[in-house]
Amino acid sequence: MKKRILFFLCLFYLSVAVRAQPGFRSVYFEEYAAILLDVVVDSDSTFVLYGMSRDTFAGPQGIKFVRLDTFGNILSEKNYIDSSVILTTKLERQDLIQTQDGGFAMMGGTLTATPVPYLLKVHGDLSFDFIKKYPLYGVYASNSGLLELSTGGYMLVGEQTIGDNDDIFVIRTDAKGNQLWRKSYGGDDLQESVLGIRELNSNRFVLNGNHYHSSADVKSLLLEIDSLGNQLDEWESDKEYAIIFDYTILSDSSWICSSGTWEYNAQYGAYMSRPLVFRMDKHRNVMWTKKLGVLMKYRHFTNMLPTHDGNYLATGEFLVQGTIKAAHYKFKANGDSLWMRLDSAYVDNGGAYFPKTKVISSAMLPSGSVISVGYAERASPYGLMQVGFVMKISPDGCVDTLNCWPVANSQDIAQVKKVAVYPNPVGDYLTVNLPDYPHKAHIYFYDMTGRFLRKERVRHGANELGVNDFPKGMIFYEVRSQGRVLGRGKVVRD
């Protein structure tokens, strides 16, 4: 009987340990100025990502493929340099795909006077398979998305510029990347942009992007084609929705989309954007929208993931008091908010670092945790440097499983950054600055193990609190009022 109890206790603790596998937030390849662009989950224990990188900081730029385990350890990496051209790609949502033969493929563009799209494929062990380039003679072309077809071969999509006109192109290849046909779409005086392509069935494909009518009129665009490239349908939104970056189609054929708005900002006298998610029915009538944050140039949710618990996660970037942060926003199918977290890869240390961290792409692990990749900006002896980062976040929005509090709901999000807590590091006294707020508020302190330390009442203005009885090391805090979270963070106790 004792052996049986011990056996079940071991199973219990093992299951807890697996569920509690910690998240992480790590910067990679600082010495090479890498920008990480997309991630694919390969198994329950590893994932593969790619980005732009160099063998040395001043060396030629190429494409880096990396395999990591779910603790963030690098298992293998390969960097591909083309001796004839610089390999590059856009700093927007990308399509790294796992191919039917177990390898990986991505689309990019050459950094030349007349950029050329290319397809780069590697084997499952990240060793080189092939690279194919597709010159569009006399045309300035940029890459956007890649799809492997269920029937074999690939479709590559992007934009081409002839004179002042931007159109969308699609290139169809065989399994070895040899071009079978190329077609373009647009042909009018509008500027078309595309970000991706998806297969609805073996003879129907949808391209997502936008139409630029004017600075005051930018609309989301969906373009449907068949397997031969013939246009079947076209839809564009009201100008409130600037571009569809990503989407998921539900069982009732409705769409949930990650996007950005296009609104006039009177303060700056210009049209700007802010992150947006919205849902439309199968006829593409908008059912609800959720706008978040403040208007600023090019702020979007670039990814949309269905979560294991039946909800949805949008990721991208978010502007908070002049700092661009990596954003993760979880919500329900009816638009209700569940939580949001905003992260920086670097601490703003007296101007030493530039305050920008941006999620480019995200993927879901079998456990329900999310892997996000992107880049952060920091100062270097060579000037501004963009450096790749990877984050792993639990289904509840936590990175550190020992310090995961209830996270923000829809009411919290508007107020989550109203509180300033300083200095950091802190000695014997901590200042909590609460701007004009009419209700009672309290600050709660926890140590590194999640143990509750103390609760203090805080009022409007600067509140100086003695913390000399706190343990050395990381101290976590959360400011609450009337069931809302007004601010949360951490400081180091010297």
For the chain, give every domain's residue range: 23-412, 420-493
**Topology annotation, domain 420-493:** Immunoglobulin-like (2.60.40)
Residue 483 pLDDT: 65
Alpha carbon separation from 120 to 95, 126, 177, 301 (Å, rounded): 12, 11, 9, 27
- Whether the CB-CB separation of 319 and 293 falls below 8 Å is answered with yes
Per the prediction, the chain carries an average pLDDT of 83
Residue 140 pLDDT: 64
Question: What phi, psi does 221 have (nearest 5°)?
Answer: -130, 135
pLDDT in tens, 317-374: 887 767 788 889 999 999 988 888 888 877 554 444 456 888 999 999 998 999 999 9
- Whether the CB-CB separation of 151 and 124 falls below 8 Å is answered with no
Rounded to an integer, the average pLDDT of 246-271 is 91
> How far is it, in rounded angstroms, from Cα 101 to Cα 256?
31
Question: Rg of the chain over CA atoms, in angstroms?
Answer: 24
Alpha carbon separation from 180 to 108, 140, 152, 161, 174 (Å, rounded): 19, 21, 12, 22, 7
Residue 400 pLDDT: 64
**Most confident listed range (96-100, 184-188, 216-220, 395-399):** 96-100
pLDDT in tens, 221-232: 999 999 999 999
Residue 285 pLDDT: 92
Question: What phi, psi does 12 have (nearest 5°)?
Answer: -60, -50
pLDDT: is 427 or 138 the higher one? Answer: 427
Those residues whose C-beta lies under 8 Å from the C-beta of residue 176, and which sit 6 or more positions away, are 130, 132
The rounded Cα 398 to chain-centroid distance in angstroms is: 16
Rounded to an integer, the average pLDDT of 128-133 is 96
Question: Which two tokens mark 90?
Answer: 């856009």
| Residue 7 scores a pLDDT above 50 | no
Instruction: State what percent of residues in the chain have pLDDT above 70.
Output: 83
Residue in the block written with tokens 């880049």: 375
Residue 294 pLDDT: 76
Across-strand partners of 317?
326
Which band of pLDDT confidence, cut at 50, 70 and 90, is reported for residue 175?
very high
| Residue 22 scores a pLDDT above 70 | no
Rounded to an integer, the average pLDDT of 393-416 is 57
- Whether the CB-CB separation of 278 and 259 falls below 8 Å is answered with yes
Give SS3 for 8. Answer: helix
Which band of pLDDT confidence, cut at 50, 70 and 90, is reported for residue 103?
very high
Rounded to an integer, the average pLDDT of 21-50 is 84
Rounded to an integer, the average pLDDT of 89-107 is 87
Which range is least confidently modeled, 69-78, 169-178, 387-396? 387-396
Which band of pLDDT confidence, cut at 50, 70 and 90, is reported for residue 23?
confident
Which band of pLDDT confidence, cut at 50, 70 and 90, is reported for residue 52?
confident
Task: Please tell me what DSSP assigns to residue 347.
Answer: -
Residue 138 pLDDT: 62
pLDDT: is 488 or 411 the higher one? Answer: 488
Residue 15 pLDDT: 37
- Whether the CB-CB separation of 388 and 29 falls below 8 Å is answered with yes
Residue 189 pLDDT: 65
* Half-sphere exposure for 397 (CA within 13 Å, toward CB): 23
Reported residue count of the chain is 494
Question: Which two tokens mark 465?
Answer: 């609190």
pLDDT: is 431 or 2 the higher one? Answer: 431
Rounded to an integer, the average pLDDT of 126-137 is 91
| Residue 37 scores a pLDDT above 60 | yes
Note whether 23-412 and 420-493 share their fold: no
pLDDT: is 16 or 277 the higher one? Answer: 277
| Residue 280 scores a pLDDT above 60 | yes
> How far is it, in rounded angstroms, from Cα 237 to Cα 218?
9
Question: Which two tokens mark 431?
Answer: 């200042």
> How far is it, in rounded angstroms, from Cα 322 to Cα 339?
22
Which range is least confidently modeled, 24-28, 30-34, 263-267, 278-282? 30-34
Which residue pairs from 223-227 have beta carbons closer than 8 angstroms and sit at least 24 positions apart in sequence?
223/168, 223/185, 223/194, 224/200, 225/170, 225/183, 225/185, 227/149, 227/151, 227/202, 227/203
Question: Which two tokens mark 272?
Answer: 């700007």
| Residue 428 scores a pLDDT above 70 | yes
> How far is it, in rounded angstroms, from Cα 360 to Cα 295?
20
| Residue 199 scores a pLDDT above 50 | yes
Instruction: State what percent of residues in the chain have pLDDT above 90.
Output: 40
Which band of pLDDT confidence, cut at 50, 70 and 90, is reported for residue 411?
very low
pLDDT in tens, 446-478: 876 667 788 999 988 899 999 999 988 888 888
Question: Which two tokens mark 175?
Answer: 């399994």
- Whether the CB-CB separation of 215 and 193 falls below 8 Å is answered with no
Rounded to an integer, the average pLDDT of 192-205 is 91
Strand order in the sheet with 241-249: 241-249, 255-261, 275-280, 286-291
> How far is it, in rounded angstroms, from Cα 83 to Cα 115?
16
> How far is it, in rounded angstroms, from Cα 484 to Cα 91?
36
Across-strand partners of 257?
247, 278
* Domain 23-412 annotated CATH 2.130.10.10: yes
Give SS3 for 274. Answer: coil
Residue 181 pLDDT: 96
Which band of pLDDT confidence, cut at 50, 70 and 90, is reported for residue 65?
very high
* DSSP structure string for 426-477: B-SEEEEEE-S--S-EEEEEE-TT--EEEEEEE-SEEEEEE-TTSPSEEEEE
- Whether the CB-CB separation of 293 and 340 falls below 8 Å is answered with no
